[in-house]
Amino acid sequence: MDGIRHSNLTLNGINVHVAESGPADGPVVLFVHGFPELWYCWRHQMAAVASNGYRAVAPDLRGFGDTDAPADPASYTALHVVGDLVAPDKVKALVNMSVLFNPRSPNRKPLPTLKAFLGDDYYVCRFQEPGVIEAEFAELGTERVLKEFFAYHTPAPLYMPKGKPFGHSQDAQIALPPWLSEEDLKHYTDKFEKTGFTGGLNYYRNIDRNWELTAPWQRDQVKVPVKFIVGDQDLTYNTGNARDYIGKGGFKRDVPFLQEVVVMPGVGHFLNEERADEINSHIVEFIRKF
């Protein structure tokens, strides 16, 4: 892509692929992707912030794309990711999308709690056993799995019953969402064909381990200015008590410097691609304050 520089850095004991755009001496804006994504999902936002004088930096996280994928599932904890990416005291502000801050419960591990409230077919629970969901994904094929995820636009939790992981037959026709081109899909497919999905799935396999490791930060709050953006069709916004947590003060209590919450009507989970221009404006408008 035009204007994108690529490099490989040795960080925290692994080789990390990094995409960059914008002036090398500009203020850094770090873009962190989710699953099943890559640095590439931020291509629109990188161009926007770079054109405003910022240095956009978007790595492939460990286990994804052209970054190393350690074999040990225990190498994908939250502490590993922070060690790969950032010194927390360098963060001036945060634009967070889709996934809310999740305060640590001192008494309840996350995985048993998810199983109790959402059941064994909830996607996070189905991701836990190494090799099982990978085998089901292999039957569907990499391209089909990615199309299923990107096309999911249902305002409800994602369930993945065994043998029918996206809730319908393998013969069902899945149309690409209008914001994703065949060229974009090929880019994702080529990368995940090379790496498989295990690296990304290993993040979910560490949710209880993260709970254990983060005990020293039990009562910590997010103490930088935050803007939160979510689509009202996003599965995360329509799971559990997310709406009440935002609307009844819990979010502001745990994130005291929360400055703005934007709920985008008609928008799903991959909002930075689905509504790229609007997200670009939200980000640039916010980071200019700092």
Write down all domains in the chain, each with its CATH number in brackets.
5-287 (3.40.50.1820)
pLDDT for 29 equals 97
- What's the CA gap between 141 and 280, in Å, rounded? 32
Whether cis (ω within 30° of 0) applies to the bond prior to 36 is: yes
Q: Where does the pLDDT of residue 167 fall: very low under 50, low under 70, confident under 90, or very high at 90 and above? A: confident
Segment 244-265 shows an average pLDDT of 96
Question: Angle between the 43-50 and 276-287 helix axes, to the nearest 10 degrees?
Answer: 40
Write 109-113 long-range contacts (CB < 8 A, 24+).
109/208, 109/211, 110/207, 110/208, 110/210, 110/211, 111/207, 111/208
Write 137-144 long-range contacts (CB < 8 A, 24+).
137/165, 137/197, 139/170, 140/165, 140/170, 142/189, 142/192, 142/193, 143/185, 143/189, 144/170, 144/174
Segment 29-46 shows an average pLDDT of 98
Torsion sign (Cα): 279, 281, 282, 284: positive
Of 52, 67, 81, the C-alpha closest to 191 is 67
Full-model pTM: 0.96
pLDDT for 137 equals 97
Q: DSSP letter string over 16-49?
A: EEEEEES-TTSPEEE----TT--GGGGHHHHHHH
User: Residue 165 has which token pair?
Assistant: 């992981």
Dump pLDDT digits (tens) for 149-164.
999 999 999 999 998 8
pLDDT for 230 equals 98
β-pair type (14-21, 55-59) = antiparallel
- What's the CA gap between 264 and 230, in Å, rounded? 6
What is the widest separation between alpha-carbon atoms in the chain? 51
DSSP β-bridge partners for residue 231: 264
pLDDT greater than 90 at residue 23:
yes
pLDDT for 87 equals 67
Dump pLDDT digits (tens) for 168-207.
878 888 999 999 999 999 999 999 999 999 999 999 999 9
Dump pLDDT digits (tens) for 84-142.
997 667 899 999 999 999 999 999 999 999 999 999 999 999 999 999 999 999 999 99
What is the average pLDDT score of the chain? 96
pLDDT greater than 80 at residue 243:
yes
- What's the CA gap between 207 and 199, in Å, rounded? 14
